[in-house]
Amino acid sequence: MTRPAGALALVLMLAALPAAAQQAPPLTTTNGEWPAYGGDAAHTRYSPLDQIDAANFGELELAWRFKTDNLGPGPEFKLEGTPLMAGGVLYATGGTRRAVVALDAATGELLWVHSEHEGRRAEEAPRLLSGRGLAYWTDGEEERILYVTLGFRLVALDAQTGRRVPGFGQDGLIDLKAAAIIGDGRPIDLVTGEIGLHATPTVARDVVIVGGTFADAPAPKTHNNTKGLVQAFDVRTGEQLWTFNTVPRPGEFGVETWLNDSWGINGNNGVWTQISADPELGIVYLPVETPSGDYYGGHRPGNNLFGESLVAVDLLTGERKWHFQLVHHPLWGFDMASPAILADITVDGRPIQAVAQPGKQAFLYVFDRVTGEPVWPIEERPVPQGDVPGEWYSPTQPFPTRPPAYDRQGSSIDDLIDFTPELRAEAVELVSRYRLGPLFTPPVISRPEGPIATLGLGAGSGGTNWPGGGYDPETHILYVPSRTAFYSWELIPTPDPEVSDMRYVKGTQKYGVGHGGLRDLNVRGLPLSKPPYGRLSAIDLDRGEILWQTPHGETPDRVKNHPALRGLDIPRTGEPCIHLIGPLVTKTLVVMGECDYHRTDAGRVAMLRAYDKATGREVGAVPMPAPQSGSPMTYQVDGRQYIALAVSGRTYSGEYVAFRLPE
C-alpha cells in the first residue's frame, strides 16, 4: 500500500470538520432511486419498492426501449451494464466505444451522450465493450458521473450536462495506468500496457475507488505480467489518496507468502469485480482474483497473498485492516468474481455487522466486517495433492461450516446425467479418461490415454460469478444465483516460448492450447451434468441455513426436445447460463431474467421471472425482447415503479428496456 502526502491531509481535514460535513449523503434506494451499481455501496441489490408485486407482475409492459447500436463504430452484442437512476435521470454505459448516456427515466429519451476516442489505447485494452456501468456522486448540490474508459482512464462528468468536470484531475481525466507497473518494477506503457477494467468505480463519502483487470487467456504471454492494484482518489479534485498493491512488495504485509521472492516475477492478482464499501465504518472490501497463471503456480510457490482473498482496507488511507484468503496458492481460477455483500445480521441473539462473499466454488463466506472474524467456523481441511512438475501445493484449504454449499462441488459419478440408465452409462464411459474428485482436486498434465483433465463443478462454468447476489436487510435473507456445469483443469508444456514464458499452460494434447478439456464432453448433445443447471438459493444469514432453492429459467430446448428423452416427465431444469445474470430484490420479490431464448407457442422468447421471496415459488413472468445480459434494477418516477435491465445476445444487439404496469 502506498499513500501520497495528500491522503494524510485529507484525513486531518475530515477529522476537523463537523460530522455532518464529513461525507456526502449516503447512496440509498429508500427514496425510490438506484444510485449505485448494486443499489447501494453495500451491494445489496435491494429496493423497498412494492408497487410491482406477485399479483400484478405478469401485467408488466414495456415502458421504453433504448438501442445502443450507434454508441460506437459497430453494434455491441454483450451489453452487461446495470443502469443508475437519480433525480429522474437514468445513466448507463453502452456501445463498443463505452459511451455514457443520460436518459429520461420515465420515457427513455436521450438527454446527453459522452464518449472518449482513445485510438490505439482503446484497441489494445484487455477488456473491451461497454463494461458493467458507472458510478454516481452528489454532495446534495453538485452531481457527478464517474466511469472508466476502455483505455483505463477515470472520467468525471457533470451529471446535468455530460461534460467533463474541469477541476477533476486533468480536464476531468485521470490516467489510471500511471501508477501501475509490470512484474519487474518498470512502469507500464501508457498505450499498450495490459490493464483495464469492466467493473464500475465505487464511491463512498468523497472517495472514488477503482480496481483493475487483465487479459483473460488460458496461456498468459508471461507470468511476469502487470501487477494488480486498487487506487483511490478524491472525488472532487481527482487527487490520488492511496494505492493498495494486491501483489505485496518488500516491506508490505504478505510478501513472505511469495516464496523465493516470487512476488517480483508474477503479476495479475487484480480486483476486476465490483468493490463494496461501508461509509460509516470507513472500510472498503476488495475481492481479489487469481495471480498469473490461473492454473499453474509453479512460478509462484507459497500461499500468494492476496490472491483469492477478501481484503478490508481503510477508506481514507488504504491501510489493510484484515484479510481472509479463501483459496491458498490458487490453481483453479476460483477468483473472487462477485462483490461482497454487507449485511447487518443477528446470530444467536448477537447483532453482527457482517460481510458475505459468494464464490465460484458455491460457498458463501461470512465474516464480521469490522474484525474479519468468521461468523461461523471456517476449517482448514486436507485436500488432494497433485503431481505437476515444479508445482507447489497447499496441504489444506478453508471450508466454511455454515452456510452449507449452495451448489454442487467437485465431481463424482453421481453428478453425471441420469435421465436414463443408457445416458448415464454413456456419461460414465466419457469421463473414464478424466480425473474425478472432491473440491480442490488439482489440475493434471493432459495425456491422450488419460487423465485428459481434472473435472469439477465450479470455476469458469459454475458457482456464482460476477453478477453476485442480493440481500434483504429486513428479513436478513441473501439470494444468490448459481450455475451447475462441469469445468476442466488440464495443462500441457508450453509449445512455443512465443506463446508464453510459463512452463505449463492450459490445454490438451488433442486440441493444443485452450479450453479443450471439455470439447468432447456431452452426451448426444445433452449436458454432461445432471440438472438443475441453474438455480436460485435463499440463505438465512441469521442462522447460516439454506431456506429454499429453485431452478431458474426454462428447460433448454435441446433438452426438452431431445429424442432420447421423448415421453419422459422432466421437471424444469433451469438454464446453464453462460451469459451470467444477477438478481433484483424488492419488498416482496426476487426478479431475474432468462439468459437464453426458448421456443413456445408464441415463438422464441426469453422471460423475465419473479419469485416469492419467502418460498421461491414463481409468481409471474413476462417476455423480454432478448435474453437478460445485465442485472436488473428498479426505481420510481412520478409515482410509478419501473424495472430496467440490459438485454442482448447472439444476433440481438445491446438494448436497455424498462417495464412498468399499465396506466
SS3 state at 431:
helix
- Degrees (nearest 5) of the Cα angle 516, 522, 525? 125
How far does Cα 171 stand from its chain's mean position? 31
Question: Chain-wide mean pLDDT for the chain?
Answer: 94
Mean pLDDT over residues 151-177, rounded? 98
pLDDT tens digit string along 23-39?
A: 577 899 999 999 999 99
Smallest Cα–Cα separation from 152: which of 185, 181, 118? Answer: 118
Confidence class of residue 91 from pLDDT cuts 50, 70 and 90?
very high
Pairing status of strand 444-445 against strand 486-493: parallel
Model pLDDT, residue 271: 98
pLDDT of residue 351: 98
The confidence score (pLDDT) of residue 577 equals 80
Q: What is the mean pLDDT of residues 536-543?
A: 98
pLDDT at residue number 5? 53
How do residues 99-118 score in pLDDT, each as one tens digit? Answer: 999 999 999 999 999 999 99
Amino acid 198: pLDDT? 95
Q: Which of 184, 262, 198 is nearest to 226 (CA)?
A: 184
Confidence of residue 216 (pLDDT cuts 50, 70, 90): confident
Q: Give me the sign of the Cα torsion angle 204, 207, 208, 212.
A: negative
What average pLDDT does this structure show over 193-208? Answer: 97
Q: Please check the confidence at residue 230 and state whether its pLDDT lies above 60.
A: yes
The confidence score (pLDDT) of residue 19 equals 38
pLDDT of residue 580: 75
Among 13-27, 318-332, 593-607, 649-663, the least confident range: 13-27
Q: What is the tens place of the pLDDT at every residue in 356-382?
A: 999 999 999 999 999 999 999 999 999
The pLDDT value given to residue 23: 55
Nine-digit cell at 309?
482473498
Q: Are 65 and 657 in contact (CB under 8 A)?
A: yes
What is the reported pLDDT for 241?
98
Domain boundaries, given as residue ranges, for the chain: 5-660
Whether 157 shows a pLDDT value over 70: the answer reads yes
Asked whether 22 and 14 are in contact (CB, 8 A), the reply is yes
The CA distance from 82 to 635, in Å, is 12
Share of the chain above pLDDT 70, in %: 96
Residue 576 has pLDDT above 90, yes or no: no
**Integer Rg of the chain from CA:** 24
Segment 597-617, tens digit of pLDDT:
999 887 899 999 999 999 999
Confidence bin at 247 (pLDDT 50/70/90): very high
Is 9's pLDDT higher than 60? no
Q: Which CATH class is domain 5-660?
A: mainly beta
Q: What is the DSSP string of 3-61?
A: --HHHHHHHHHHHHS-GGGSSPPPP-STTS-B-STTSSTT---B----SS-TTTGGG-E
**DSSP of 492-519:** EE-S-TTT-SSSEEEEETTTEESSGGGT
